[in-house]
Amino acid sequence: MTTQPPVIEIRNLHKAYGQLEVLKGVDIRAEAGQVISLIGSSGSGKSTLLRCANLLEDSQSGEVLFCGEPVKWKGEGLARRPADRKQLLRIRTNLSMVFQQFNLWAHLTILQNVMEAPVTVLGRPKAEVEGAARAYLDKVGIGDKCDAFPAQLSGGQQQRAAIARALCMEPKALLFDEPTSALDPELEQEVVKVIKDLAAEGRTMLIVTHDMRMAHDVSDHVVFLHQGRIEEQGAPATLFGAPKSERLQQFLSHSAPV
């Protein structure tokens, strides 16, 4: 029986900004249908790792593979860049990113926001995309907001619109960068519910989060980053219930209990 390669695989990844080394040899694998949460204090490299996985940031060494296909690089060190623009665009369109600050276009309605990329980037027929966009907005619980503009929605509704927009690309994986940290607790729960529903459907997800309860509840695997390295990783019950490293114990003692 042939086993599928991981949707995202990162091997010995190093990333620096000038002299500042942010990732110091990180390995990570996201199998199809797996939910992985990345946790750690500010500056530990979580968001940078996510952006390197989506090729929004260039890494200096190490491998990034998408469904078993290695990213082609040219140059070395700080001059290293993806070598094949078509490959880069193909991979990016299969990895939908949901950002902390929603990034919705203010001049477009919510429906237009969700439809924009599948129509302009993927070239899919408008009528087909509209049907899918409406279905995804229903799925995240804001189907009645199709004709509203982002400024007319609460933060939680805007983030759910951003998730619908990501889903409308029909990606192989969803990447979330602190999806709830800009929201107050009540609105946060609206978004957490959507993410839990997506996890229950078996979608492949990489989630950078400060919300330990969400990481515990939705993840198959949790990775704790500290100073650019993986300090500890494992199943949520083990990582949160019996952390081995002193640094993780310290970190969890300052986080809200799960």
| Between residues 257 and 213, the one the model is more confident about | 213
The radius of gyration of the chain's CA atoms, rounded to the nearest angstrom, is 18
Reported as a single tens digit per residue, the pLDDT across 122-165 is 999 999 999 999 999 999 999 999 999 999 999 999 999 999 99
- Give the mean pLDDT of 85-114: 94
Q: How many Å apart are CA 120 and CA 193, to the nearest integer?
A: 30
Is residue 138 located within the same domain as residue 182? Answer: no
Q: How many Å apart are CA 215 and CA 199, to the nearest integer?
A: 11
Residue 181 has pLDDT above 90, yes or no: no
Listing DSSP states for 212-254 in one string gives HHHHHHH-SEEEEEETTEEEEEE-HHHHHHS--SHHHHHHHHT
pTM: 0.93
Q: How many domains does the chain have?
A: 2
Is residue 72 located within the same domain as residue 193? Answer: yes
Strand partners, 66: 8, 69
Neighbours of 197 (CB within 10 A): 14
Of the residues 120, 139, 170, the one at which a domain ends: 170
Is residue 150 located within the same domain as residue 182? Answer: no
Is residue 81 located within the same domain as residue 112? Answer: no
The secondary structure of residue 14, as a DSSP letter, is E
Is residue 78 located within the same domain as residue 165? Answer: no
The strand order across the sheet containing 69-70 reads: 20-30, 8-17, 61-66, 69-70
Is residue 5 located within the same domain as residue 51? Answer: yes
45 phi, psi to nearest 5 deg: 110, 5
Is residue 180 located within the same domain as residue 90? Answer: yes
Q: Which amino acid is at 63?
A: E
Residue 243: which CATH number? Answer: 3.40.50.300
Structural domain harbouring 23: 1-94+173-258
Reported as a single tens digit per residue, the pLDDT across 16-30 is 998 899 999 999 999
99 in a structural domain: no
